Structures are given as C-alpha cells and as structure tokens.
Amino acid sequence: MAGVKTAAGWRAHMRGAAVFAVLALGISPALAETLPLDPAREAAVAALIDKARASPPALRVLLRGMPKGGDLHNHLGGAIYAEDFLEWAGDKGFCVKADGLSVEPPPCPAERTIARFSVADEFGYDRLVNAMSTRGWQRGVGRNDVSGHNQFFGSFSRFGPIAGENAKMLAAARRIAAGDNLSYLELDHNTTTLSASFAAAPAGELDAAGLEARYAAEVKALAPLIPAARKELDADEAEAGKAMACGTPRAEPGCKVAVHYLFQAMRALPPTYVYRSLILGFLMVEADPRFVGVNIVMPEDAYPARRDYRLHMAMIRLLAKKHPSVKLTLHAGEVTLGLVPPQDLRDHIEQAVAAGAKRIGHGTGIAFEDNAEATMARMAREGVAVEINLSSNDVILGVKGADHPLNLYRAHGVPVVLSTDDQGVLRSDMTNEYVRAVTEQGLGYAELKKIARAGLHYAFLPGEALWADVAGLKPVAACADLAAPSCAKFLSANEKARLQADLEQRFAAYETVRLARAAGEN
C-alpha cells in the first residue's frame, strides 16, 4: 500500500477510509461494530486482489489463505488423486493391468505389481495417472481421440477397483479441504453396504403408476440394511480420525473441517435400480444425522437418465411427500447445446426445482431452458442455490468464460456457491475455483466473500443460521452482538450458525494478515 510504511500509519489509513467504505459497501456502521466486519479492511483487500487479477499465480497466493466456507458439491470418490489411489493399491499388492491403463487385484507377474511398476517405468506410471484422471487430457494428451466428458467419466471405472478405501478417502478429502481453508465439506458418499444393494434390485418394468406399491415392498426389504450402513460409517470415520490424530495434541488441521454427507442416488441405471437407490437415500438421511440430504448423480446425458428424467422426478416427489424432512440437492442442467437433443435442454432444472430441490448441482444449461427466467426468479425467491463447478463444466461440457451462466444466475438474484465436484479426477481444488471465478468470471473480493458465506448458509448443516438476512448481513437477534451470552447460547445449539460465526472471525484474521503483509512490502 503505497505511502503507508508503518503499522501505526496503516491503522490511521484504515480509520480514515472507514466511513467511505461503510457507505460504499452498503453495510451499516452499527453492524460493522457488533460483528468482526471492517468495510475499510475489506475494500483494501479487494484492491489487492484487483491488482493481482491479471496474474493467476499472484491471485493464487492471495486466495489460498482466504476462508472459503463450505464445499457443497464434492463427490468423495472423485475427490481423491490417482496417485493416492495407486499408493493404497500398492500397499495391498495390486497390479497394473497388461494394458497399463488400470489396476487389478493380485496375483500378477512381479514386474506389474504397483510397487515395482511405479519405480521401474516412470512414463508408464504417468500414463496410468493420466488414464485415471483428466490430467493428461487437460494438457492435450489424447484430445483427438476422446472427449473431456468421456475421459472424465471413464476415469472412475479405472480406479474403481481401489475406491473402497473409504476411511483413507475421508482423511484425504479433509486434508485437502484444510489446505484450501474450507470450514465444511458436504460429501456425496454412499457406504459400501448400501451401494452393494443397488445391483440386487428386482428386475422388471417400473412406471409412475407402480411407484407406490414398489415403495412399500422396498422399504420392508431395505430397512434392515440401515443399521449396518451406520456401523460401517462409524468405523470409517473413526479410522480417518485416528489417521489424522484427531482429539490429540498432534491433531492435523483436517480434524477441524466439519463433515456431513449427501446420499447419492444413481440415475443412469434401469428404473428399479434408480428407485431403490433413492429409497435407500431417504431412509439413511432419516436414520443418521450425519447424512443431511439426497442427491441424484451419474451423467445426465446418459440414455437412461434422459429417457427416464420425468420418472425420476416422480420418484423424488413421492419420496419427498413420505419423508418431508429430507432435503434435496439435485444434479440438473449438467448439459449444453450439442451434447444432447434439444428436448433434453428444455426443462431439467425447472423440473428439479418443482420436485423440491433446495439446491441445483451444476445448472449449466439454464440458458437453453424454455422457462429460464421464470425458473431463476423462483430460485431467487425461494432461496434455491446453484452449485457452480467451473473446472468441471469446462472439462466435461466445454463451457467456460463468458459462456458460463454463473453471472446470469447472479444477475437474476439466484444464490451461488462455488464447489469442486471431483477435484482429484479434475486435478483442481477450491482455490483454483476461486481463481477462475476472478479471472474468467470477473468476480471481486466482495463477491467471493458472498459466495463463501453462501457455502455455509445454503448448506444442509443442522441448526439455524447466523444470518436472518445473509445478503444484507443481518444477524439473528440473539447474535446482534457476537460477544453477548445470548449469542454464545445460540451458537452452541446450532452447528450452522457456529460455523458461520467462525467464518467471520476467519475473514477478519485473513484480511488483517494480508494487509499487514502488504504494508510491510511497501
């Protein structure tokens, strides 16, 4: 900050700018005094980020330490880097397949054990990592042979044989999140116990008229699986916590990252399989408070997903009536012009919102929907947030920059959150999503803070929110003063509000440190 050479000078500069910044940012002076908000400090950090806008490396240095709230669209299986999967597979004696593109359980020739192959064949190992992710594809390898869409989704089958290391995966995801200064992960994750039951769904036809009768039969058959699934999650969480030394003086930063789960129903399967996965999801959420909602996943452009989209929404509507406490976030609009026929672009997001979704995953195809403006108006009115995945939409759909609807949603008042989707397969992280939001979407620091706050406000976290009006930064009455006993009581009873209050403290610490460093550099 030119002209400010000392800490005392910096404080005087900040006091002198305070009145102007309070008015410019639209924050009342009273609120700025009762919460750790300092509009002048925020404006000064915003200036630093604007100055670095043309340099992604400089932006990353600035944004890595920025508190980022919650990642609400993070598939645990896709969050893990191929190198980690290969290390775990090597520990279990797995082998590289003869084609060098995947792995398999032992036995195999000694030269194809992962432990030996990884050391003896450097370029073969690189080829294997590229096959198990989009790393090579993003750098031009094989782009003429396979689309980003197919490379992405094809990666899952290649690391599938070693994707059952749920405890290790949980620990890895929390470590990555801590490094990105996230407070919260809402992980898309199914226990092995429940996933294994999908393929055992009864065969046969299923249409909307048969959903009620099938539900009654399925609930009776599936209910006994829930206790075993909960026990499995208990063990996985305990093992992950032990690996990170949680609860000890040696606890890793990842231990502080709060975690809840979204059950993933599978859409690109026969209707009986899809319905069973949805029913299991609703049952699990009702039985286990660690699961806070149900999602529906797999490629939206897959033939069964397109053919049965209306049937899937009918399934969800019926289950939502029977289990009204279960929250929904639905992948919808993960399509774009040319990927699917025109009829599959017309109303997927509209249908998902009508089915009761409280958040929309991706929403990339909104501009192609018949009632796009009415749907966005409803989302804005009802507080239905959209989970924006910039790297994912670029790689899978080829949608980025000005073609991306992030700013279209913002212009229509739709709440927006940034998320990573499958950061291991995509070779990204949350900081990269924030950098892209600045460089490709033109967002500034104030907009990034709103997004970080939204990542907690629109999370399915238990308890009430800190903000009565998150857009206007108006806290609930109990926390008009964060230091008041009434606020301490409120925060202790509400996990969501507790994380939101912590985020404001993190913002204050981050901004203070960034400006102190800037003052020392000038």
Cα 301 to its chain centre, rounded Å, is 21
Q: Could you give the CA distance from residue 327 to residue 297 in angstroms, rounded to a whole number? A: 15
At 113, is the secondary structure helix, strand, or coil?
Answer: strand
Residue 120 corresponds to which tokens in the numbers above?
A: 């003896």
Render pLDDT for 414-424 as a digit per residue (tens, 0 to 9): 999 999 999 99
What does the pLDDT read at residue 521? 76
Contact 497, 491 (CB under 8 A): yes
Instruction: Give the CA distances from residue 182 to residues 66, 75, 177, 385, 447, in Å, rounded to whole numbers and listed in that order.
Output: 9, 16, 5, 19, 17
What pLDDT, on a 0 to 100 scale, did the predictor assign at position 289?
A: 97
Q: Give the pLDDT score at 522.
A: 66
- Max alpha carbon distance in the chain (Å)? 76
Q: Are 512 and 41 in contact (CB under 8 A)?
A: yes
Q: What pLDDT does residue 485 have? A: 93
pLDDT at site 202: 86
Task: Give the pLDDT confidence score for residue 4 in this predicted structure.
Answer: 35
In this structure, are strands 467-469 and 474-475 parallel, antiparallel, or unpaired?
antiparallel
Predicted TM-score (pTM) of the model is 0.92
Angstrom distances, CA of residue 499 to CA of 95, 254, 281, 490: 43, 15, 26, 12
Residues 6+ apart with CB under 8 A from 209: none
Residue pLDDT, tens place only, 136-168 = 999 999 998 999 999 999 999 998 888 789 999
The reported pLDDT for the residue numbered 482 is: 81
Structure tokens given for 105: 């359980």
Query: What per-residue confidence (pLDDT) applies to 33?
Result: 46
Domains plus CATH for the chain? Answer: 7-64+467-521 (no CATH), 81-162 (no CATH), 166-457 (3.20.20.140)
Phi, psi of 262 (to 5 degrees): -115, 130
| pLDDT under 70: residue ranges of the chain | 1-35, 522
Q: Are residues 129 and 86 in contact, defined by beta-carbon separation less than 8 angstroms?
A: yes
